[in-house]
Amino acid sequence: MKHSVILVALAAGLSGCASDAITLEQDTAYQVEWLGERPLIDRSHLTVTLGKDGRAYGNAGCNHWFASYQLDGEKISFSQAGSTRKMCAPALMEQEQRFLELLGKVQRWDMSATDQLRLWPETGKPMRLWPEKG
Q: Is residue 20 part of a domain?
A: no
Q: Is residue 4 part of a domain?
A: no
CA 54 to each of CA 14, 111, 116, 127: distance values in angstroms, whole numbers, following the listed order: 34, 20, 21, 20
Instruction: Give 27-74 pLDDT, tens digit per residue.
Output: 999 999 999 999 999 989 999 999 999 999 999 999 999 999 999 999
Number of domains, the chain: 1
Instruction: Give 110-127 pLDDT, tens digit per residue.
Output: 999 999 999 999 999 999
- Domain, as residue range, for 73: 25-131
Per-residue exposure over 87-100, b if at least 16 CB sit within 10 Å of its own CB, e if not: eeeeebbebbebbb
